[in-house]
């Protein structure tokens, strides 16, 4: 039975970056995924994700996003593909003391460029946006979007180019030997041996390790909707409009890219979802809410047709902080996940954190919260939708 220094189970953003960086650190690595790279069941499988530095008062996530942004750009250069699109990120602020104001204080401490805009300045710069009732807006000129599926596939290709091995297989924990796991096993009995195992399975983690993660990670169905502007109307493409976040209203959106229309998502928690057997059909209410919001904020899209829909999922922890810890029963098993609706952008820094742990380093400052035993106080936290004061939506917890 062939053995690797490290076996990474799950080729989403956390797994792909962990495998790539472990291989570049000189380890022999096997990356395993049940459905393939960039498949539609994966949380990392949609076309685009926002990358933003705004994380209210949390300096760790702000710095992580900045480091990850550089890594994503370097990955795109190395792969010869456009992965980061620097269209900026615009936050709609309804009040003075909200998430956006907390981000400004952190930006100033961390040296992140930003602009604070009055509502009329928003409408002047982006006439396609209605900003009348906003208090103000926060603009991140160095933010933008990531080509999600493309980025995960690029990381996986560079991993293979560096000598990494990929296996298409559904794998579960296999044979234990005291406090060590010897292998992982497929339903047909095929086994993969390894020195260390990293389970970065996204929404499948609670199913694999229910005794430790069933109450830590909650998997919910999340709908996104793409609208089609009129022919010849390029105002909603990334060349002319930024990504945007309305934290208090629990909506976010991404401008059109690669010929797709602008994307909008109600950032409310959907129903509990099975990532393997759940059907990827959006809830009609998600379309209704998206249309109501987009008709107000972007009036030219009020009657635009829905041209595409997607279903992914969140795997959310109560406090929206990630999971990165050693398995309580095994010295050579690591659990990585809990992206909580904001994890994709942090893939490079999470991969680096995994490799540092494999090398024996303790958690870096700010990463103690990722531990399984760390108290997790329910909070709307770091994703793009909080406890809404506008729509009445409320977050998990």
pLDDT digits (tens, 9 = 90+) for 96-149: 999 999 999 999 999 999 999 999 999 999 999 999 899 999 999 999 999 999
DSSP summary character for residue 125: H
Rama region for 362: left / alpha / beta (φ>0; ψ in -120 to 50; rest): beta
Residue 2: predicted pLDDT: 73
Alpha carbons 170 and 23: distance in angstroms, whole number: 22
| Residue 395, pLDDT score | 30
Instruction: Give this prediction's pTM.
Output: 0.95
Q: What percent of the chain has pLDDT over 70?
A: 95
Residues 106 and 112: beta-carbon distance below 8 Å: yes
At residue 286, the pLDDT reads: 96
- The pLDDT-based confidence of 384 (bands split at 50, 70, 90) is low
pLDDT at 273 over 50: yes
Calculate the average pLDDT of the chain.
94
CA distance linking residue 374 with residue 389, whole number of Å: 30
As given in the structure block, the two tokens for residue 67 are 């480091």
Is the predicted pLDDT of residue 392 greater than 80, yes or no?
Answer: no
Looking at residues 208-212, what average pLDDT do you find? 97
| Residue found under tokens 């044979």 | 175
CATH 3.30.9.10 fits 3-370, yes or no: yes
Domain boundaries, the chain: 3-370
Strand runs (DSSP E) across 283-378, as ranges? 306-316, 323-326, 333-337
User: Residues of 2-26 as b/e, b for ≥16 C-beta within 10 angstroms?
Assistant: eebbbbbbbbbbbbbbbbbbbbbee
Distance CA 122, CA 96 (A): 17
Per-residue pLDDT at 88 exceeds 70:
yes
Query: In the predicted model, what is the mean pLDDT of residues 165-175?
Result: 97
């Amino acid at each position: 039975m062939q053995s690797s220094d490290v076996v990474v189970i799950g080729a989403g953003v956390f797994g792909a970056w962990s495998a790539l960086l472990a291989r570049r650190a000189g380890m022999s690595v096997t990356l395993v995924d049940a459905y393939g790279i960039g498949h539609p069941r994966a949380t990392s499988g949609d076309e685009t994700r926002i990358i933003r530095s705004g994380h209210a008062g949390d300096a760790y996530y702000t710095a992580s996003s900045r480091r990850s942004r550089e890594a994503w750009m370097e990955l795109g250069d190395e792969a010869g593909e456009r992965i980061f699109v620097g269209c900026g990120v615009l936050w709609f602020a309804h009040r003075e003391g909200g998430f956006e104001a907390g981000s400004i204080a952190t930006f100033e401490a961390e040296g992140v460029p930003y602009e604070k805009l009055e509502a009329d300045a928003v409408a002047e710069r982006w006439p396609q946006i209605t900003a009348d009732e906003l208090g103000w807006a926060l603009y991140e000129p160095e933010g933008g979007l990531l080509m999600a599926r493309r980025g995960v596939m690029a990381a996986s290709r560079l991993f293979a180019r560096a000598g990494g091995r990929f296996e298409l297989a559904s794998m579960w924990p296999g044979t234990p030997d005291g406090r060590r796991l010897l292998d992982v096993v497929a339903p047909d009995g095929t086994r993969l041996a390894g020195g260390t195992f990293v389970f970065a399975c996204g929404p499948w983690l609670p199913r694999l390790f229910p005794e430790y993660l069933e109450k830590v990670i909650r998997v919910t169905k999340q709908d996104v909707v793409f609208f089609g502007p009129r022919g010849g109307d390029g105002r909603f493409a990334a060349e002319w409009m930024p990504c945007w976040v309305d934290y208090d209203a629990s909506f976010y959106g991404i401008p059109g890219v690669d010929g797709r229309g602008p994307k909008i998502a109600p950032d409310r928690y959907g129903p509990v979802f099975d990532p393997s057997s759940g059907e990827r059909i959006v809830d009609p209410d998600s379309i209704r809410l998206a249309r109501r919001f987009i008709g107000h904020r972007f009036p030219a899209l009020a009657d635009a047709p829905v041209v595409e829909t997607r279903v992914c999922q969140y795997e959310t922890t109560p406090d929206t902080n990630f999971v990165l810890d050693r398995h309580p029963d095994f010295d050579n098993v690591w659990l990585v996940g809990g992206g909580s609706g904001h994890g994709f952008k942090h893939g490079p820094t999470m991969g680096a954190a995994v490799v540092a742990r494999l090398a024996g380093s303790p958690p870096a400052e700010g990463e103690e919260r990722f531990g399984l035993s760390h108290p997790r106080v329910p909070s709307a936290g770091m994703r793009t939708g909080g406890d809404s004061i506008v729509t009445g939506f409320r977050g998990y917890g």
